[in-house]
């Protein structure tokens, strides 16, 4: 490696590498330490999973009862399978011009080191959440695709109480209770850590719902609301990140001369579709002619429709927040310990110094009964 400024040598680069690894372990990812971890050799790994998990099946499934001791031993053939993980190469690079700033790479608290660690951590969190809700690959060779069963998906309309627009379709007490019921019904060990990964907007909706439904008598909930967030509730540990996946949703189409109430959502008719959906903020009757939605495409912008008023609420493509529910053993995150760090001059960039870090990482869902998706209106 070229010694550009007289101090960039192998030891300096190794120090930069070690600083990133330390920062990544301490602050980078919010989710890496709540799931199972393993190392990866190369870019693809295969990991054993017992499909009939002892924690999931009943006692009768695991033991054979006999009337006397002196009988042949009953042999149970456990259904071992394999989950495969294909890693992605995560990279982050900066161009640095000033010599004094390059020296900061040896400082573990420098913003360059911290930014690379945070960037890597965010990518790791996305990988974990996408693996939890996405397609897993199983079977003896790890090639059979398995999607998250519909029984593990709590739909956006579950538990919505008519006439109460607060939290309608968003994360609510009822959805949280149902998520717990799904895990309990599958005999998931209640002592195995349970996590809910959600964006800030859904924390707000949940606290609003708990307040509106008079559940603040719970001392823990009162404390959480007073502090402006939730740490644990109903046996779940809450982890907030605004990187949670989103998905589109089809709302009822606008209709003429129709009574609407505050909190209702609609989208333009197919002939006037513009990719947004709208919330009623003033109750009334819609007009005989559909509003010109093309003039109301800025979030927060309002339009009068007959005696009702709509507000541009959000993009249809991001209408639903996918809140992730998982236990410690629901997801596996793997990484290759052979990480790469480089500090090199770039002749094509007027010899500015490029700082580079890269690593292979991947994840897979290990057990469908330990993972859920709660669809929540944004």
DSSP 322-361: EEEEEETTTEEEEE-S--EEEEEEEGGGTTEEEEEEEEEE
Residue 154 domain flag:
no
Per-residue pLDDT at 350? 83
Query: Whole-model pTM?
Result: 0.80
The answer to whether the CB of 112 falls within 8 A of the CB of 96 is yes
Residue 279 sits in the same domain as residue 361: no
Q: Are residues 19 and 44 in the same domain?
A: yes
Please state at what angle helix 200-212 crosses helix 173-185, rounded to 10 degrees.
100
- Is the pLDDT assigned to residue 36 strictly greater than 70? yes
Does 180 map to a domain?
no
DSSP for 270-298, please give it. Answer: GGG--SEEEEEEE-EE--SS---GGG--S
SS3 content of the chain, % helix, strand, coil (to 5): 30, 30, 40
The whole-number pLDDT of residue 74 equals 67
Q: Which tokens in the block code for residue 307?
A: 């005696």
pLDDT tens track for 142-167: 889 999 999 999 988 786 544 333 34
- Is the same domain home to 254 and 139? no
Structural domain of 347: 10-58+77-144+331-365
168-177 pLDDT, tens digit each: 688 988 899 9
Domain count, the chain: 2
pLDDT in the model for residue 2: 43
Q: Say what the pLDDT of residue 231 is.
A: 74
Residues 49 and 118 in one domain: yes
260 contacts: CB under 8 Å, gap ≥ 6: 266, 280, 283, 284, 285, 286, 308
Give tens-digit pLDDT for 54-73. 444 444 455 566 666 677 77
Instruction: Please report whether residue 119 resides in a domain.
Output: yes
pLDDT of residue 140: 75
Q: List, for residues 74-91, the tens digit of each pLDDT value.
A: 666 656 678 999 999 999
H/E stretch holding 194: strand 194-198
Does the pLDDT at position 26 exceed 70?
yes
The answer to whether residues 334 and 363 touch, using CB atoms and an 8 Å cutoff, is: yes
With beta carbons less than 8 A apart as the criterion, state whether 132 and 323 touch.
no
What average pLDDT does this structure show over 312-341? 91
Domain presence at residue 307? yes
Report how far apart, in Å, the C-alpha atoms of 77 and of each of 50, 63, 90, 109, 369 are.
Answer: 11, 12, 40, 53, 21
pLDDT tens track for 266-283: 999 999 999 999 999 999
Is 26 among the domain residues?
yes
Domain match, 31 and 95 both: yes
Q: 29 lies in a domain?
A: yes
For residues 134 and 19, state if they share a domain.
yes
If asked whether residues 136 and 16 sit together in one domain, one would say yes
User: In the chain, what percentage of residues exceed pLDDT 70?
Assistant: 82
Domain annotation covers residue 185: no
Find the helix or strand (DSSP H, E) in which 203 lies. Answer: helix 200-212
- pLDDT at position 54, please? 46
The pLDDT, as a whole number, for residue 230 is 62
CATH number at residue 18: 3.30.2400.20
Write down the pLDDT at residue 161.
Answer: 46
Question: In terms of domains, do 294 and 344 share one?
Answer: no
Q: Where is pLDDT greater, at 127 or 210?
A: 127
């Amino acid at each position: 490696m070229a010694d550009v400024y007289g101090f960039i040598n192998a030891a300096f680069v190794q120090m930069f590498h070690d600083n990133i690894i330390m920062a990544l372990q301490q602050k980078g990812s919010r989710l890496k330490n709540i799931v199972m971890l393993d190392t990866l050799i190369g870019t693809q790994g295969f990991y054993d999973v017992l499909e009939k998990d002892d924690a999931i099946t009943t006692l009768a499934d695991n033991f054979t009862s006999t009337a006397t001791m002196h009988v042949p031993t009953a042999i149970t053939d456990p259904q071992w399978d394999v989950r495969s993980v294909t890693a992605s190469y995560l990279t982050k690079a900066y161009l640095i011009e000033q010599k004094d700033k390059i020296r900061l790479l040896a400082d573990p608290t420098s913003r360059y080191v911290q930014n690379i660690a945070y960037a890597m951590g965010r990518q790791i969190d996305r990988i974990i959440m996408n693996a939890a809700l996405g397609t897993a690959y199983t079977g003896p060779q790890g090639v059979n695709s398995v999607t998250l069963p519909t029984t593990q998906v709590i739909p956006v309309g579950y538990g919505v109480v008519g006439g109460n627009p607060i939290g309608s379709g968003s994360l609510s007490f009822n959805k949280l209770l149902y998520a717990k019921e799904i895990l309990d019904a599958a005999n998931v060990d209640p002592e195995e850590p349970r996590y809910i990964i959600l964006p800030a907007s859904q924390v707000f909706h949940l606290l609003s719902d708990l307040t509106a439904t008079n559940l603040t008598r719970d001392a823990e909930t009162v404390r959480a609301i007073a502090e402006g967030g939730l740490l644990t509730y109903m046996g779940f540990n809450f982890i907030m990140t605004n990187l949670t996946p989103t998905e589109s949703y089809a709302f009822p189409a606008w209709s003429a001369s129709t009574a609407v109430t505050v909190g209702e959502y609609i989208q333009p008719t197919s002939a006037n579709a513009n990719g947004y959906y709208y919330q009623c903020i003033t109750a009334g009757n819609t007009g005989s002619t559909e509003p010109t939605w093309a003039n109301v495409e800025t979030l927060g912008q309002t339009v009068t429709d007959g005696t009702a008023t709509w507000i541009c609420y959000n993009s249809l493509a991001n209408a639903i927040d996918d809140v992730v529910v998982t236990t410690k053993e629901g997801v596996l995150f793997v990484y290759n310990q052979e990480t790469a760090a480089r500090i090199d001059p770039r002749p094509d960039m007027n010899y500015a110094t490029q700082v580079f870090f890269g690593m292979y990482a991947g994840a897979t869902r290990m057990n469908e009964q330990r993972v859920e998706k709660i669809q929540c209106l944004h």
